[in-house]
């Protein structure tokens, strides 16, 4: 077992850039502790992901937890479009993959994570393992990234530990809502353990406390943890390399000469720093980070903006890193621009692209973006102060909103920032910029999507809160009135040391309890969640027939939205649940009108041109009575006029071929 510990530790120490990713003093017993910590992270991640998503291989059912049911209505079709659809084939042909819930349009959503999942399923891995395995690795890496960065900045395991605790258990004031529904009593511990609904779920519950602080966002958005983890490790890289800032220019130059071989490559000075050589190791690291960041338009677009903020600030704050950051930015830009062009590209024959479709000021065409008027229009489209309280933004409401959402962190973070070492202040300051950006601008159709900026900023803020609590209440570096006095004798010295210690620990326990109580309640909501079943290909007649009898690039006009059989089979549908496409910037209003025309019109001269325009191969027909979101389908018209190529045994769904509808 000891050999396993040592081997695991050596693997953890290994960094593609430097060998000192984990401090060398983590030897012997500390190596085993590191292994134990990573094991705990891994086991917790395993529970979190498999508890919310699974697969019944016997009955061929997908098992989806109640708390992730809606979001996975988008993720599963995206995965299947790569595993059993034609999107992976399109990528291999250097063609832009199309959005499976909005046929004919390129994917604007960051799809790279789900493409990897689809590839794993395509290679034979069962769907739950294909999705949960990278999710587990990503969440484990995020936990390790938090620990690693906190320890690197403060060299204190207690700060790193509290940073993890504050991340897992949010500090919002949602526990007040919980206790208003479940008054304090002897049954309170059982009420918490049995909780099955989030106390706060704003903006959808009409309350001020948002739904984006609990772990549910990481079980829903499986790619988010990986993106945040990579970003934290980049900050860790900057923190390590920027320590040279504390040395003199001569020391740095001598260190570079003695410890590195010069490469013939030099980046021009730009007038920012002295003419130090650009080491081969520096170049390799910078290019490697540029390649990683350059994938983020397809991997996680909000994190790309976070990287832009980080790179800009670190370029200004650390002169000796400017060459590296310049190379990182240049490399990332070369990869980023083609991906952004593919995201904003449009299918030939359809409407020209726009940068921000249907934002407040209307569409902004690519040709308009370079003009002054176009830039003004873009800024007005982005300007959206207030975040979730944009419609009732006042200073009292703003303060109330963030106090309710951050709890005691709203005090600890700004106060604790001034207690940080100067180097840590420079490293962590971008969290403030992200907080400001998230409160002033929006970058998608839905303002709630800004929660990613706040989630990441709070990860940083949690470290500041942890540092303040440890500094004040454990390391005893700050005098607390009433807990410290000048003793008059040796015995009074011992007496007051004991009182001070007990008092500090008592206050610390109380504060940590208040900072994590809401998170504990939210955790039990996830732990008590139950899975629903969704019949997959092999169990569902319709999706099985589609998978076996239609080409992978077939397009379906769909008579239902969520988890349509064609989507489960990896085929594209005309328009899935409108929220998914709308939030990504697609024109769902027009498609909704066209869907009604194709289903409700009885004149082939009216609906056939639309079917052909959108390359629709099959039309599904279901009874849509009672659902105002769907077109009114006249079943008798289709049954009397056309012959279906498929109908299920319960006669709930029929499939017609377009060639039969429009001969």
pLDDT of residue 177: 96
Sheet holding 531-535, edge to edge: 53-56, 61-65, 531-535
Which helix (H) or strand (E) segment is 653 a member of? strand 653-657
pLDDT of residue 348: 40
Report which of residues 629 and 34 the model is more confident about.
629
pLDDT of residue 11: 47
Q: Is residue 618 part of a domain?
A: yes
Q: Is residue 267 part of a domain?
A: yes
The confidence band for 488, taking pLDDT boundaries of 50, 70 and 90, is low
Mean pLDDT of 348-373: 42
Q: Is residue 223 part of a domain?
A: no
- Please write the tens of the pLDDT for every residue from 117-162: 999 999 999 999 999 999 999 999 999 999 999 999 999 999 999 9
226: left (phi over 0), alpha (psi -120 to 50) or beta: alpha
Give yes or no for residue 30 having a pLDDT over 80: no
Q: CA 299 to CA 340: how far, in whole Å?
A: 12
Give yes or no for residue 465 having a pLDDT over 60: yes
Considering 326, 345, 364, which residue would you say is the last residue of a domain?
Answer: 345
In 491-648, which ranges are E strands?
Answer: 531-535, 555-557, 572-573, 618-622, 646-647
Q: Is residue 49 part of a domain?
A: no
pLDDT of residue 288: 96
Q: CA 429 to CA 313: how far, in whole Å?
A: 9
Considering 305, 325, 345, which residue would you say is the last residue of a domain?
Answer: 345
Mean pLDDT of 346-351: 41
Neighbours of 39 (CB within 10 A): 12
Mean pLDDT of 577-606: 94
Mean pLDDT of 449-457: 97
In 450-529, which ranges are E strands?
Answer: none
Q: CA 213 to CA 522: how far, in whole Å?
A: 9
Q: Which of 468-482, 572-586, 596-610 has the lowest mean pLDDT?
A: 468-482
Q: What percent of the chain has pLDDT over 70?
A: 81
Mean pLDDT of 623-645: 94
**Residues in contact with 155: Cβ distance below 8 Å, sequence separation at least 6, in sequence order:** none
Q: CA 262 to CA 260: how far, in whole Å?
A: 6
pLDDT of residue 366: 45
pLDDT of residue 282: 81
Vertex 287 angle, CA 148 and 12, to 5°: 30
Q: Is residue 259 part of a domain?
A: yes
Report which of residues 516 and 33 the model is more confident about.
516
Q: Is residue 199 part of a domain?
A: no
Query: What is each CA distance from 499 to 487, 490, 513, 516, in whole angstroms?
Result: 12, 14, 21, 26
Under DSSP, the state recorded for 449 is: G
Q: What is the CATH number of the domain that holds 555?
A: 3.40.50
Q: Is residue 505 part of a domain?
A: no
Q: Is residue 43 part of a domain?
A: no
Neighbours of 442 (CB within 10 A): 23
Mean pLDDT of 217-227: 97
The confidence band for 382, taking pLDDT boundaries of 50, 70 and 90, is confident
Q: CA 311 to CA 309: how far, in whole Å?
A: 6
Mean pLDDT of 581-595: 94
Give yes or no for residue 439 having a pLDDT over 90: yes
Mean pLDDT of 102-114: 93
Q: CA 394 to CA 396: how far, in whole Å?
A: 6
pLDDT of residue 35: 86
Average pLDDT, the chain: 86
- Please write the tens of the pLDDT for every residue from 276-322: 445 667 889 999 999 999 999 999 999 999 999 999 999 999 999 99
Give yes or no for residue 428 having a pLDDT over 70: yes
pLDDT of residue 1: 52
The confidence band for 350, taking pLDDT boundaries of 50, 70 and 90, is very low
Report which of residues 343 and 178 the model is more confident about.
178
Q: CA 411 to CA 399: how far, in whole Å?
A: 11
Report the DSSP pairing between strands 618-622 and 555-557: parallel
What is the model's pTM?
0.87
pLDDT of residue 29: 61
pLDDT of residue 505: 87
Structural domain count of the chain: 2
Report the DSSP pairing between strands 61-65 and 53-56: antiparallel
Report which of residues 344 and 605 the model is more confident about.
605
Report which of residues 632 and 18 the model is more confident about.
632
Give yes or no for residue 483 having a pLDDT over 90: no
- Please write the tens of the pLDDT for every residue from 521-577: 999 999 999 999 999 999 999 999 999 999 999 999 999 999 999 999 999 999 999
Considering 345, 377, 412, which residue would you say is the last residue of a domain?
Answer: 345
Mean pLDDT of 81-107: 94
Give yes or no for residue 578 having a pLDDT over 50: yes
Range of the domain at 258: 230-345
**Token pair for 622:** 């279901």
């Amino acid at each position: 077992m000891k050999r396993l510990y040592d081997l695991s530790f050596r693997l953890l120490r290994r960094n593609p850039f430097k060998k000192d990713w984990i401090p060398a003093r983590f030897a012997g017993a500390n190596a085993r502790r590191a292994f134990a910590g990573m094991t705990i992270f891994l086991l917790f991640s395993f529970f979190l992901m498999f508890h919310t998503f699974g697969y019944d291989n016997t009955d061929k059912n997908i098992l989806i937890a109640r708390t992730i049911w809606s979001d996975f209505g988008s993720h599963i079709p995206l995965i299947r479009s790569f595993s059993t659809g034609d999107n992976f084939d399109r990528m291999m042909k250097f063609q832009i993959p199309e959005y499976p819930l909005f046929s004919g349009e390129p994917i604007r959503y960051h799809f790279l994570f789900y493409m990897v999942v689809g590839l794993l399923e395509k290679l034979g891995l069962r769907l739950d393992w294909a999705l949960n395995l990278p999710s587990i690795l990503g969440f484990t890496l995020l936990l390790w990234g938090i620990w690693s960065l906190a320890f690197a900045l403060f060299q204190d395991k207690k700060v790193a530990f509290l940073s993890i605790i504050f991340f897992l258990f949010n500090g919002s004031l949602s526990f007040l809502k919980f206790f208003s529904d479940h008054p304090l009593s002897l049954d309170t511990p059982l009420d918490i353990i049995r909780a099955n609904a989030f106390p706060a779920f704003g903006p959808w519950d009409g309350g001020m406390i948002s739904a984006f602080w609990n772990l549910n966002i990481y079980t829903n958005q499986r790619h988010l943890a990986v993106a945040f983890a990579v970003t934290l490790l980049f900050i860790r890289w900057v923190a390590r390399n920027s320590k040279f800032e504390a040395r003199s220019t001569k020391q740095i130059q001598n260190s570079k000469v003695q410890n590195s071989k010069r490469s013939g490559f030099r980046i021009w000075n730009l007038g920012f720093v002295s003419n130090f050589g650009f080491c081969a190791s520096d170049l390799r690291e910078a290019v490697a980070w540029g390649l990683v960041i350059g994938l983020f338009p397809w991997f996680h677009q909000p994190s790309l903006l976070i990287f832009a903020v980080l790179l800009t600030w670190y370029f200004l704050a650390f002169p000796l890193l400017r060459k590296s950051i310049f190379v990182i930015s240049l490399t990332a830009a070369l990869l980023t621009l083609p991906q952004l062009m593919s995201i904003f590209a449009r299918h030939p024959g359809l409407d020209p692209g726009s940068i921000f479709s249907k934002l407040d000021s209307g569409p902004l065409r690519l040709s308009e973006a370079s003009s002054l008027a176009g830039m003004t229009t873009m800024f007005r489209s982005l300007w959206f102060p207030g975040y979730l309280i944009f419609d009732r933004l006042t200073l009292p409401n703003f303060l109330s909103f963030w106090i309710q959402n951050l709890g005691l962190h709203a005090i600890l973070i700004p106060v604790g920032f001034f207690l940080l070492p100067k180097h840590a202040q420079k490293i962590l300051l971008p969290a403030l910029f992200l907080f400001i950006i998230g409160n002033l601008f929006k970058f998608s159709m839905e303002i709630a999507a800004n929660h990613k900026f706040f989630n990441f900023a709070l990860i940083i803020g949690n470290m500041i809160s942890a540092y303040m609590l440890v500094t004040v209440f454990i390391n005893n570096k700050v005098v607390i009135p009433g807990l410290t006095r000048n003793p008059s004798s040796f015995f009074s010295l011992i007496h007051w040391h004991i009182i001070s210690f007990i008092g500090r620990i008592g206050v610390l326990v109380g504060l940590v309890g208040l900072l994590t109580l809401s998170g504990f309640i939210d955790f039990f909501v996830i732990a008590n969640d139950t899975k629903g079943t969704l019949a997959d290909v092999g169990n569902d007649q319709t999706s099985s027939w589609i998978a076996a009898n239609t080409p992978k690039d077939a397009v379906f006009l769909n008579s239902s939205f969520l988890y349509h059989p064609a989507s489960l089979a990896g085929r594209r549908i005309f328009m899935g649940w409108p929220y998914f496409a709308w939030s990504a910037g697609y024109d769902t209003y027009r498609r909704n009108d066209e869907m009604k025309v194709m289903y409700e019109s009885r004149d082939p001269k009216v609906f056939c041109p639309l079917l052909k325009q959108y390359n629709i191969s099959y039309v599904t027909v279901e009874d849509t009575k009672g659902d105002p979101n769907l077109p009114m389908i006249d079943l008798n018209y289709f049954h009397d006029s056309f012959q279906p190529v498929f109908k299920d045994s319960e006669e709930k769904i029929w499939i017609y071929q377009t060639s039969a509808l429009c001969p």
